[in-house]
């Protein structure tokens, strides 16, 4: 498949979004497209709960710079840096758990494609602020809620937010960073993961003793459900940890189990429903963004340095990623005049193009082109 030609088609969409979202602005586009297939500009800032989605555009710009070497992309990232720095210093009392998403694609990506020392400094500061959300007794990063919340609560999404801490460990060698992300992942595997390798969305611990209390749900269908994008966050986060540590004994058995669980759910059409345990009217709502995340994660694993061999129904993760990509590209690409790249992302209760689905599709395409000879923003 001509992946480079697909990137050429995608390029004008990203440039249009760049023009609509000045890098120095505090306000950024909405996370999903409207009925006109436009990401409405001036919608969110990083102070809002949905402001974490800002950096998916910046991450795409960084990948385009790596691919095309056009200085306008680097200039865009450079002009965005002061906004990220200002946000860090204005929110020192309570930095968001989504700092990992925000700064991994916002400043670590800029550093990795440019070598900017300023971006490196801001990224390390973000990692240190993120660590303030570590609840020592529970051994987790505090997800929803403030750092002074009376509840210690984790969400599976934070398997991806750990990337900023993994990057800081790989950049500095400071073993406390490693302690934090490995402690968090251990608790996720122990309490959030089920015996079939599916993951709960959220879990609550006692703040004083760290004693596990029980499951919570925010993004899935219900307690006991299996929100598909959450499964992909867990898979990708474990693959990131494997890349950051090369500890196949600790991470590979779980990654193997996750991939085979996911394959059992998507093998008929390769695009997941938004929740694998959903019942009722919305049972068949798909999530192409979850598919794109899974494809990119599988390619990272397959092309990675660890040369991991899987067992069970899925032995070739690259082939599975290719199958997913083939369906996405053949059936779910938006029209050339739309802002979004993919159709069919799960955005709450509606299906639409979304910024994270678009980003991970670009990342997966770049991995097909460059394999592991490209910057890895996620540790």
The domain ranges of the chain are 3-370
pLDDT computed for residue 281 by the predictor: 54
Q: What secondary structure, in 3-state letters, does the chain show?
A: CCHHHHHHHHHHHHHHHHHHCCCCCCCECCCECCCCCCCCCCCECCCCHHHHHHHHHHHHHHHHHHHHCCHHHHHHHHHHHHHHHHHHHHCCCCCCCCHHHHHHHHHHHHHHHHCCHHHHHHHHHHHHHHHCCEECCCCEECCCCCCCCCEEEEECCHHHHCHHHHHHHHHHCCHHHHHHHHHHHHHHHHHHECCCCCECCEEEEECCCCCEEEEECCCCCCCCCCEHHHHHHHHHHHHHHHHHHCCHHHHHHHHHHHHHHHHHHHCCCCCCECECCCCCCCCCCECHHHHHHHHHHHHHHHCCCCCCCCCCCCCCHHHHHHHHHHHHHHHCECCCCCCCCECCEEECCEEECEHHHHHHHHHHHHHHHHCCCCCCCCC
Q: Is 336 a catalytic residue?
A: no
Give the number of other CB atoms < 10 A from CB of residue 194.
Answer: 13
- Would the annotation count 233 as a binding residue? yes
For the entire predicted model, the pTM comes to 0.97
pLDDT computed for residue 288 by the predictor: 98
Of 136, 302, 154, the C-alpha closest to 230 is: 154
Residue 124: alpha-carbon gap to chain centroid: 19
- Would the annotation count 98 as a binding residue? yes
CATH of domain 3-370: 1.50.10.10
Structure tokens at 263: 């394959």
Say yes or no to pLDDT of 118 above 60.
yes
pLDDT confidence of 23, banded at 50, 70, 90?
very high
Say yes or no to pLDDT of 215 above 90.
yes
Say yes or no to pLDDT of 363 above 90.
yes
Mean pLDDT of 246-265: 96
- Would the annotation count 309 as a binding residue? no
pLDDT by residue (tens digit) across 266-299?
999 999 999 999 866 567 899 999 999 999 999 9
Rounded CA separation 313/236 (Å): 19
pLDDT computed for residue 1 by the predictor: 66
Can you tell me which residue has the tokens 């693959």?
Answer: 239
Helix 55-68 and helix 3-20, axial crossing angle in degrees, nearest 10 = 130
Q: What percent of the chain has pLDDT over 70?
A: 98
Can you tell me which residue has the tokens 């899974």?
Answer: 294
CB-based burial of residue 328 (10 Å sphere; 0-12 exposed, 13-18 middle, 19+ buried)? Answer: buried
Can you tell me which residue has the tokens 């969400």?
Answer: 155
pLDDT by residue (tens digit) across 155-199?
999 999 999 999 999 999 999 999 999 999 999 999 999 999 999
The rounded mean pLDDT for the chain is 95
Compute, in degrees rounded to 10, the torsion defined by CA atoms 197, 201, 204, 210.
40
Helix 228-245 and helix 288-302, axial crossing angle in degrees, nearest 10 = 20
Mean pLDDT of 354-362: 98
pLDDT computed for residue 359 by the predictor: 98
Can you tell me which residue has the tokens 């219900």?
Answer: 222
b (16+ CB within 10 A) / e for 44-55: bebeeeebbbbb
pLDDT by residue (tens digit) across 50-83?
789 999 999 999 999 999 999 999 999 999 999 9
Say yes or no to pLDDT of 367 above 80.
yes
Mean pLDDT of 331-338: 98
pLDDT by residue (tens digit) across 136-166?
999 999 998 888 888 899 999 999 999 999 9
Rounded CA separation 220/238 (Å): 20
Q: Is 98 a catalytic residue?
A: yes
Q: What percent of the chain has pLDDT over 90?
A: 88
- Catalytic option among 36, 148, 157, 206: 157
Say yes or no to pLDDT of 46 above 90.
no
- Would the annotation count 133 as a binding residue? no
Rounded CA separation 66/60 (Å): 10
pLDDT computed for residue 194 by the predictor: 98
Rounded CA separation 125/89 (Å): 9
pLDDT computed for residue 279 by the predictor: 65
- Catalytic option among 98, 158, 322, 339: 98
């Amino acid at each position: 498949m001509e992946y480079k030609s697909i990137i050429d088609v995608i390029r004008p969409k990203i440039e249009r979004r760049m023009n609509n979202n000045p890098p120095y602005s505090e306000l950024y586009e909405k996370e999903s497209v409207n009925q006109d297939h436009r990401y409405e500009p001036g919608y969110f800032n990083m102070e809002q709960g949905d402001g974490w989605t800002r950096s998916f555009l910046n991450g795409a710009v960084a990948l385009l710079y790596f691919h095309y070497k056009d200085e306008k992309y680097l200039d865009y990232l450079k002009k965005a840096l002061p906004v990220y720095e200002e946000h860090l210093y204005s929110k020192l009392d309570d930095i968001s758990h989504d700092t990992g998403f925000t700064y991994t694609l916002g400043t670590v990506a800029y550093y990795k494609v440019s070598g900017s020392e300023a971006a490196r400094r801001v990224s390390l500061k973000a990692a240190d602020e993120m660590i303030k959300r570590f609840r020592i007794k529970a051994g987790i990063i505090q997800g929803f809620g403030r750092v002074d919340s009376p509840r210690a609560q984790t969400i599976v999404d934070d398997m991806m937010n750990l990337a900023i801490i993994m990057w800081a460990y790989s950049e500095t060698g400071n073993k406390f960073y490693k302690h934090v992300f490995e402690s968090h992942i251990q608790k996720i595997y122990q309490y959030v993961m089920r015996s079939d390798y599916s993951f709960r969305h959220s879990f609550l611990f006692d703040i004083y003793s760290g004693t596990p209390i029980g499951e919570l749900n925010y993004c899935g269908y219900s307690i006991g459900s299996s929100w598909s994008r959450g499964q992909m966050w867990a898979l990708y986060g474990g693959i990131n940890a494997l890349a950051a540590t090369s500890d196949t004994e600790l991470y590979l058995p779980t990654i193997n189990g996750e991939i085979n669980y996911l394959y059992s759910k998507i093998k008929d059409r390769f695009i997941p429903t938004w929740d694998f345990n959903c019942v009722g009217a919305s049972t068949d709502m798909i999530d192409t963004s979850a598919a794109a995340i899974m494809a990119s994660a599988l390619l990272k694993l397959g092309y990675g340095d660890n040369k991991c061999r899987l067992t069970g129904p899925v032995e070739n993760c690259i082939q599975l990623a290719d199958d997913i990509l083939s369906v996405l590209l053949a059936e779910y690409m938006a029209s050339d005049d739309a802002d979004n790249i993919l159709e069919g992302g799960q955005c709450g209760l509606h299906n639409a193009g979304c910024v994270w689905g678009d980003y991970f599709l670009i990342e997966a395409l770049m991995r097909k082109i460059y394999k592991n000879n490209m910057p890895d923003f996620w540790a």
